[in-house]
Amino acid sequence: MKAFYRNMTAATMIAFVLLPFLVLIMWSFSTRWFYPQLYPAQWGLRAWQYVFGIAGSQIISGLIQSMLVALVTAMISVLIGVPAGRALGLYNFKGKDTISIILTLPVIVPPLCVAMGLHLWFLKLGLTETFGGVVLVHLTFCLPYSVFVMWGVFSNYNPDYEDQARSLGATSWKLITRVMLPLTLPGIMVAGLFSFLLSWSQYLSTLIIGGGRVTTLPILLFALMGSGDRPVAAAVSIVFVAPAFLALLFSAGYLGGRSITGVR
């Protein structure tokens, strides 16, 4: 029975994750591929030559832009998520339910509405078409996740560890760096990764707030797709997915139930 489930998992993985990738890779290496054919009629490196040649500098700057936005967003998201999650997970106070509803709002309300609404405000505040504005709008989508993850981590967190550490001579600062952070590190990694990936894949909000000036990779990707050149779009898609995929592999050890429940 166990083997059956394992095979099921493997089959699902292949069908829904690897197969689309396979098609993408095939597209990127094809030069001629028309409808009824199962394989490309002609293979070639044209798309990749384009990506690394003519469009190379554009794509690299998009990659850097995306990376910067996603890293800064993830960092701020964690910096706010950890104390917020700690407050929500460890202490009881008035308005806790209200906060959880407000936190879920950006997730429930369609992103388009959120981005459009914020656009008006950002216009007034002069935040449109700026790096900071894009980071801020990404944060509205990332923060709920990181706060909820850290909330979960801290509801399973035993504050006695901190009392013990204080009694053993730890000062407040060392309490945070030597006890709290290591104990919640798996959760922090998950919160950071969530935020990074969410920010990395934002298109609509970047387009609306960034106004085409903050050209992250998805913005470039959509522009290239619009031109109708499928092999090039496929190649750019792979370039787009690769860093996120690497980030996922890198933090694979931290994922899973252990990280959400925290270390006991």
Partner 1 sequence: MGELLMKNLTIRYGGAEVVSEFDLAVHDAEIVSLLGPSGAGKTTVLKAVAGLIRPQKGEIIIDGQSVQHLPPEKRNAVMVFQKSLLFPFMNVAQNIGFGLRMQGRHGREIRRQIDRILELTELTGLGQRKVHELSGGQQQRVSLARALVLKPAILLLDEPLSNLDANLRQQMRELIQDIQVETRITTLFVTHDQVEALMISHRVGLLLDGRLRQVGEPRELFYRPVDPDVARFFGGCNFIQGHVKNGMFRSEYGNAPAPAINGNGHLLTATIRPEDILITPESKYDLQGQVQKTNFEGSATRIWVQCKDTRFVILTSETGIFPGQKVGLHLPPDKIRIFPGGPESGEMI
The DSSP element (H or E) to which 43 belongs, if any, is: strand 42-43
Which residues does 187 contact at the CB level (< 8 Å), separation at least 6?
Answer: 85, 149, 150, 152, 153, 259, 260, 262
**Minimum gap (Å) between residue 167 Cβ and partner 1:** 4
User: Which of the ranges 36-44, 103-111, 164-172, 189-197 carries the binding residues for partner 1, by CB under 8 A?
Assistant: 164-172
**Minimum gap (Å) between residue 140 Cβ and partner 1:** 33
The answer to whether 30 touches 42, Cβ cutoff 8 Å, is: yes
**Minimum gap (Å) between residue 94 Cβ and partner 1:** 15
- Measure CA 238 to chain center: 16
**DSSP tag of 110:** -
Which residues does 177 contact at the CB level (< 8 Å), separation at least 6?
Answer: none
For position 17 contacting partner 1 by CB under 8 A, the verdict is: no
CB atoms under 10 Å from CB of 151, counted, come to 22
**Minimum gap (Å) between residue 184 Cβ and partner 1:** 11
| Residue 18 vs residues 12, 13, 183, 201, 253: alpha-carbon distances, Å | 9, 7, 35, 19, 21
For position 258 contacting partner 1 by CB under 8 A, the verdict is: no
**Minimum gap (Å) between residue 71 Cβ and partner 1:** 25
Would you say 68 or 185 has its CB closer to partner 1?
Answer: 185
> Site residues for partner 1, window 167-226 (CB under 8 A)?
167-171, 174, 178-179, 182-183, 185
Of the residues 14, 104, 163, 256, which one makes contact with partner 1 according to CB under 8 A: 163
Would you say 174 or 213 has its CB closer to partner 1?
Answer: 174
**Minimum gap (Å) between residue 261 Cβ and partner 1:** 13
The answer to whether 40 touches 32, Cβ cutoff 8 Å, is: yes
Backbone angles phi and psi of 159, in degrees to 5: -65, -10
Helices 96-108 and 56-90 pack at an angle, to 10 degrees, of 160
User: Which of the ranges 6-14, 55-63, 148-156, 162-170 carries the binding residues for partner 1, by CB under 8 A?
Assistant: 162-170
For position 253 contacting partner 1 by CB under 8 A, the verdict is: no
User: Which of the ranges 47-55, 56-64, 147-155, 163-171 carries the binding residues for partner 1, by CB under 8 A?
Assistant: 163-171
Residues contributing to the site for partner 1 (CB under 8 A): 158, 160-161, 163-171, 174, 178-179, 182-183, 185, 263-264
